[in-house]
Amino acid sequence: MTRRVRVELGARSYDVVVGRGAIRELASLIPTDAKRVAIVTQEGLPAEIASYLPTSVLVSRHVIGKSEEHKSMSTIERLCDEFAVAGLTRNDLIVGIGGGMVTDVAGFAAASWHRGVRVVHVSTTLVGMIDAAIGGKTGVNLRAGKNLVGAYWQPSGVICDTVFLDSLPEREQRCGRGEMAKYHFLTGDDLLALDLDARIARCVQIKAEIVGSDEREAGRRAILNYGHTLGHALEIASDFALAHGESVAVGMMFAAHLARALGRIDDARVEHHRKVIVDHYGLSMSVPAGVRRDQLVELMHHDKKAVDGLTFVLDGVHGIETVRGVEMSALSSAFTALSVP
C-alpha cells in the first residue's frame, strides 16, 4: 500500500508517493505533454527505474559523480550541455533518481535549464525521502560553503519507494535518523514508534506542512534548519568525513548547549536532547579529531542564515526559533561542552 502526501503550494502543489512499490506510480507523475525525459542519476542506482516511465517518452541518462565535490557549478554546466545534445525542450522533464545530492543537483539543473523545466524526484535514501527531495530547495556548493548557489524549484511530484531502503547501508540509515530526530524536536513525535512507511510519510507530512506555510523561508521554514548551522560547518571542516545527518545530530546537541548558555533552556532540556539524539535515535555527538572551533566559526559566518552576525535555530520557551547575533561567549561554552578544541 502506498500513501500520498500533498505539498500544498497553490498552483505548484504536488504529491509525494510513499511506500513499498511507490515506483510503480512514477508514470502517474509524468506530465502527459512531455516528450523527452532526462534522467539525472549516479552509477550504481537501479537502472530499471527508467522502465516505470511511460513508453511514449524518449529517455536520456545523465550520470553525476558520487562524492560531494561533484555537487558543483561545473556539474550543472556539464548537465546543461548534455541536455542540449539530448534536445531537451522547455516542455520536457528532468527526473532526478538518487539521494539528496542527486535531487539537489537535478532540481537546480531543472530550475536553470531554459529558465526552468519540470522535475520529478525519485528519492532512494532515507535523508532524501524525509528531507532533501521535498520542498523545492535545490543547489550546489561553493568552496566557501554548502548550497550557496541554488534556487527554490518545486518538483511536480516525488516518489519515495521504501524498497530502496532495504539495501541502504547502516551509515545512511543513521544519517536519516539524524533528520528524523530533528522532526522529533520540532513536533514531539516519537517517529521510531511508527513502522517504516508510516514514519517516512509522517516526516514528509511534517515537512510539507512547514513548507506549505513558508515556501521561501521568510520565517518559519528556518526551523527545518535545526542543527544545521554547525552541521553544515562540520561537514566541510571534516572534509565530509562526517556525513550530513551525522553532522546535524552533533549540530542539534550543540544548539542545545548554546540555548542553555543563552538561558533559553535548562539542564533538563539539554539532557532531553542527549537522550533523544544519542539513546533513542542512536546517533553520536562526537566531533572528529582535528576539527577546531575557530575553523567552525569561520565557516558558520558563510551560512545562508548569517544575515546579522551568527544566526542559529535554537530551542526555548516559545519552541524552536531563529536567534540572530549570537555572542562568542555563548558559542565558547557550547564548544567546550562538546569538547571541541
Q: Which residues are catalytic?
A: 115, 137, 179, 207, 217, 221, 225, 228, 232, 244
Residue 98 or 135 with smaller CB distance to ligand GLY: 135
Question: What whole-number distance in Å separates Cα of residue 115 and Cα of residue 286?
Answer: 43
Identify whether the C-beta of residue 74 lies closer than 8 Å to the C-beta of residue 108: no
Q: How far is the CB of 221 from ligand GLY (least distance, A)?
A: 5
Helix 73-86 to helix 100-112 angle (10° resolution) is: 60
- Chain positions contacting ligand GLY, by CB under 6 A: 131, 135, 137, 221, 224-225
C-alpha distances in Å from residue 250, one per residue of 29, 181, 189, 314: 37, 11, 20, 14
Contact (Cβ atoms closer than 8 angstroms) between residue 99 and residue 34: no
Q: Give least dist CB 181 to ligand GLY, A.
A: 14
In the bound state with ligand GLY, the residue whose beta carbon lies nearer, of 74 and 213, is 213
Of 132 and 291, the one with the shorter C-beta distance to ligand GLY is: 132
- The number of angstroms, rounded, from the C-alpha of 5 to the middle of its chain's C-alpha atoms is 17
The residue nearest ligand GLY at its CB is 224
By CB neighbour count within 10 A (0-12 exposed, 13-18 middle, 19+ buried), where does 182 fall? Answer: buried
Query: Least Å distance between CB 5 and ligand GLY?
Result: 15
Nearer to ligand GLY, 137 or 146 (CB): 137
Paired residues of 302 in beta bridges: none
Least Å from the CB of residue 207 to ligand GLY: 7
- Which triple of cell numbers denotes residue 313? 535555530
Rounded to an integer, what distance in angstroms lies between the CA atom of residue 2 and that of residue 63?
29
